[in-house]
Structure 1
Amino acid sequence: MSSQKIGLLSLTALVFSSMVGSGVFSLPQNMAAVSNGAALIIAWLITGIGILFLAFALLFLSRQYPELDGGIYNYARAGFGELIGFCSAWGYWLCTTIGIVGYVVIVFASLGMFVDTKEHVIFGDGNTLYAIIGSSIFVWLVHWLVSRGIKEAAIVNLIATIGKTVPMVVFILCTFFAFKLDLFKFNFHDVSLQVPLWQQVKDLMLITLWVFTGIEGAVVLSSRAKNRNDIGKATVFGVLTALTFYIMVTVLSYGLSTRAEIAGMQNPSMATILSHYIGFSGTVIITVGLIISVASSYLSWTLFATEIPFLAAKNGAFPKKFLETNENNVPKASLWLTSIVVQLCLVAVYFFNKNYTQLLLISSVMILLPYFLVSAFYLKESIRHKRHKHICIASVATIYALWLLYAAGVSLLLLSVALYAVGLIIFFYSYLQHKRQLKAE
């Protein structure tokens, strides 16, 4: 049963679901806090072009190198060696794991909108004791579901993806009819932030990257696909659908309230905006959508986090323990490691009082190197084989990846360097273990 392969529809749902998680429901406030309407449009233009070319890079690489399962890890390894390949796998695994923590934190922060009062804060920003207990229960329920099999988890994700799309459609329809062009023009030229336009665009980059993290989902699970041609199709279909939703949600929001008002809203800000037009039911619709969305995205990302160490262990980049699978063909060591680390991070969130936005930034910065390495590998191979059309696509994708590294800023890049340095301990241990095994054989 669990050896069944994943079809195009389920693969596309995995890509879409992994991208469209908690981020979209807080996107209006996140963006209004750092940019006016002009910067918003420019940022989406840059992101739209960059992310589409990155999607095309993954599409063509999946067809040109069908033997390289798992993409994110194996592309970096094939192009730049074992150490760089490990860094890509480690960075991606950390990105997905920290992102998972952010998902459950925002769910319980949203539930706080219904149960919290000024006198009694139960869930707060998702980092109270009650929130952490609820998050922990959720983590281990998903652990059990994934352990039942990759195919079965993908089907559950497909159903949840359909369910979470409905609230977004409701929001877009309501805000479309309430949209005020004059208000959008005011927000477009708003100078109250007193920050240069280009700096506003730069500040938006990690936010726009975060909502597209997961673009590689079909590639990561490529060994589980029914048809290899579906991998690239699922990636492009998922990106185009997500991009459409993101642009409509944010642009329409700038035509409903002033930028400053949106920036001051409690997250999930989509719920606050919709409640202004259809009352409390708007809060209920968006919060239910958020919970369904996060649950399906959490499931998708757990699948990715489970698969990457397993693939890396095949080449000795992770300890051989990660090659073990259970009776449902699920990499059990990877799954246990991911769930345990998520649990520890939730405890840290409670003690260090971290919130969703801080987790978002840490997760986003860890994906920068893997995305750059995918683009760079595509560019390197296109030049080597003199594929002129592909050189153009790869160049744009690589420039976009470099721009993201620049936009991240020094402090976040230094944090990523420190986290990558921790991973080197695992790499050298695994490398020596692999060498000893080869000698023994």
Structure 2
Amino acid sequence: MTSSLASGGRGHVDEKGSGELAEQRSTVTGAEKVGLLTLTAMVVGSMVGAGVFSLPQRFALETGVVGALIAWAVAGIGMLTLALVFQGLALRRPDLDAGVYAYAKAGFGEYVGFFSAAGYWASACVGNVTYWVLIMTTLGAAFPVLLSGGGLVAVMASTAGLWFFYFLIKRGIREATAINRVVTVAKLVPILVFVLLAALLLDPAVFAANLTGADYTGSLFGQVRQTMLITVFVFLGVEGASVYSRHARRRSDIGRATVLGFLSVFAVFASVTIVSYGILPMEQIAALPQPSMAGVLSAAVGPWGGAMVGVGLLVSVLGAYLAWTLMAAEVLFVAAKDRDMPRFLAESNDRDVPVNALLLTTLLSQVVLVVTLFSTNAFDFALDLTASLSLIPYLLAAAYAVKLAVTKETYADDLPATRRRELAVALVATVYTVFLVYAAGLDLVLLGCVFYAPATFLFARTRRERGQRVFSVREAVLFAVVAVGAAVGLVALGAGWITL
């Protein structure tokens, strides 16, 4: 499952057109293709990372059992429809690679497609920072200087880890993905043990007291709204099989892997949240440091429980970091091969690794790591920004599915009932994603603009390389809106209206 399979094993930029690139991609041998199990492992491996270990505290901070059940029901239905959208798009547009970015471009033009690629890539890079912050806070149990996760020493240690993985992946993607397959299995064990032990030791009286929330929670709708970003964060990666669609042995495996991976992870995430309410009063859970799963299990079985969760977290987070770094580089690499990103990002080394895409991915993560020095809560800041950046790519993919169904494109050989069913699913996914943008709030939308505006430099460079105008009239209007949003965001940051 190498990021550079499309390069045909060469370490240089391919200047050929899209038709020839498609022909190149079709020459990938069966030995390099992957099956349903590996694709499902990629989906699970991408989603099960840092987020699951933070669920007890993040939910208890906002809502009780009833609100949590409603939130998971909303998130489950919404994310399932997104998973079904990716399943349907993989089958209806098998010619599109690196699905999240390609769907936006096909449906709404090159600049919008660029936004999707850049936003998805940035969300992966910022998400990687949450992994390092959580690693540092976990190690803080033994080394208190690392406990904040975002202090100077923690950032220096995270920087060392960041570049260690850069050189590991640079050695060859095959070695890296082999590690990921092992890690995917290993990291699930402590999470499942946590759910089992917490369920067995659940105190009905404590659980009942946590049903309706606490004094610091607001209305039920407000409680549910405040939990939405954490559910987005933990489900990031549901499109993992779609991103690697060109490596699938059978196109039908992409959809199956997406749904199987989603349902498996959904059951685990919801269970981790709900059983925690039966161990401690929610006020105590809300006050736990991250990883809060360790604090809950320590209260249930003693210190060894927290230690077990800590070890599991380290394995889980490092594996998820590896998967997301691979996916982030893959998006940039494929976009550059299709000449939608600057050509330097399409270069690969003699080990078929997209070195410049990988380097740019690592550099952005490094910048965000430095920014956490100025954040009051490094983990929550990086988590919420990751979730908000991912919303634009998800929204555009869902909207493209709606467009296909409305225009009947790709539906010529299908029954009308099939089109109506898929349109309904795509509409639910679109409405759900719009609600998530609302739930994220204006602060995070403006911070997203602060990223998108300067990132447009990559789009401008790509257009210049192709000898084209930088913007069409519509694209210029869209850029102006984003630039204004970025300016407002910077002013708000400077004035203290927005805090990191």
Alignment counterpart, residue 93 of structure 2, candidates 45, 48, 65: 65
2:123 aligned with 1:95: yes
- Residue number in structure 1 paired with 2:40: 12
Counterpart for residue 201 of structure 1: 224
CA drift at 1:130:
2.8
Does 2:446 correspond to 1:421?
no
Residue 333 of structure 2 corresponds to residue 302 of structure 1: no
Give the distance between the partners of 1:412 and 1:194, measured in 2 at CA: 22
CA distance in 2, matches of 1:427, 1:108: 35
Task: Please identify, of 148-157 and 264-273, the stretch whose mean Cα deviation from structure 2 is larger.
Answer: 148-157
Alignment partner of 1:113: what SS? coil
1:188 aligns with 2:211: yes
Whole-Å separation in 1 of the counterparts to 2:46 and 2:243: 12
TM-score (norm 2): 0.83
Q: Which residue in the other structure is 2:462 paired with?
A: 430
Query: Do residues 313 (structure 1) and 336 (structure 2) align?
Result: yes
- Residue 279 of structure 2 contacts residue 300 of structure 2 at CA under 8 Å; is this kept in 1? no
C-alpha spacing 1:13/1:66, structure 2 compared with 1 (3 Å): same
CA distance in 2, matches of 1:303, 1:217: 11
Q: Give the fraction of aligned pairs with identical amino acids, expressed as a percent.
A: 39
Are positions 1:393 and 2:418 aligned together? no
Residue 238 of structure 2: aligned partner: 215
Instruction: Assess if the C-alpha contact under 8 Å between 1:10 and 1:154 holds in 2.
Output: no
Moved beyond 6 Å, runs of 4+: none
- State the Cα deviation string for residues 355-392 of structure 1 (Å, max 9, x = none): 11111011111011100001000111012116111111
- Judged with a 3 Å threshold, the aligned counterparts in structure 2 of structure 1 residues 163 and 23 are, in CA distance, closer, same or farther, namely same
Q: Are positions 1:37 and 2:69 aligned together?
A: no
Contact 2:62 2:217 in 1 (8 A): no
1:247-262 to structure 2, matched below 5 A, reads 247-262=270-285
Q: Distance in 2 between matches of 1:354 and 1:197?
A: 25
Q: Residue in 1 aligned with 2:150?
A: 127
8 Å CA contact 2:155, 2:373 repeated in 1: yes
Task: Name the aligned partner's letter for residue 467 of structure 2.
Answer: K
Aligned length: 432
Residue matched to 1:234: 257
CA distance 1:352–1:29, change in 2 (3 Å)? closer
Map 1:282-301; keep pairs closer than 5 Å: 282-301=305-324
Equivalent residue in structure 2 for 1:104, among 132, 141, 145? 132
Give, in whole Å, the separation in 1 of the partners of 2:371 and 2:263. 36
The 3-state SS of whatever aligns with 1:188 is coil
3-state SS in 1 of match to 2:256: helix
Q: Residues of 2 paired with 1:341 and 1:81: CA distance?
A: 26
Q: Which amino acid aligns with 2:397?
A: V
Between 332-341 and 132-141, report the one with greater CA deviation: 132-141
Write the letter of the residue equivalent to 1:429.
Answer: R
Greater shift, 54-63 or 337-346, is seen at 337-346
State the distance in 1 between where 2:389 and 2:370 align: 21
Report the AA paired with residue 183 of structure 1. V
Deviations 1:175-218 (A, max 9, x none): 01111233222211234124111011100100110100111111
Give the stretch that moved more between structures: 209-218 or 3-12: 3-12
What is the distance in 1 between the residues matched to 2:368 and 2:221?
34
Structure 2: unaligned runs, 5 residues or longer:
6-31, 409-415, 470-500
Letter in 1 for 2:426: A
1:21 equivalenced with 2:44 (yes/no) = no
Task: State the Cα RMSD in Å.
Answer: 1.7
Does structure 1 conserve the Cα–Cα contact (< 8 Å) formed by 2:63 and 2:214? no
Answer yes or no: is the 8 Å Cα contact 1:35–1:193 preserved in 2.
Answer: no
1:353 positional shift? 5.9
Q: Contact between 2:228 and 2:436, CA under 8 Å: does it hold in 1?
A: yes
CA contact (8 A) 1:10 1:155 kept: no
Rate the CA distance shift 1:340–1:193 in 2: closer, same or farther, 3 A.
Answer: same
CA deviation after TM superposition for structure 1 residue 354, in Å: 5.2
Within the candidate set 389, 392, 406, 1:366 is matched to 389
Aligned-residue offset at 1:229: 2.0
Distance 1:114 1:199 in 2: 37
CA distance in 2, matches of 1:345, 1:189: 37
Separation in 1, partners of 2:447, 2:155: 25
Task: Give the deviation of 1:55 after TM superposition.
Answer: 0.3
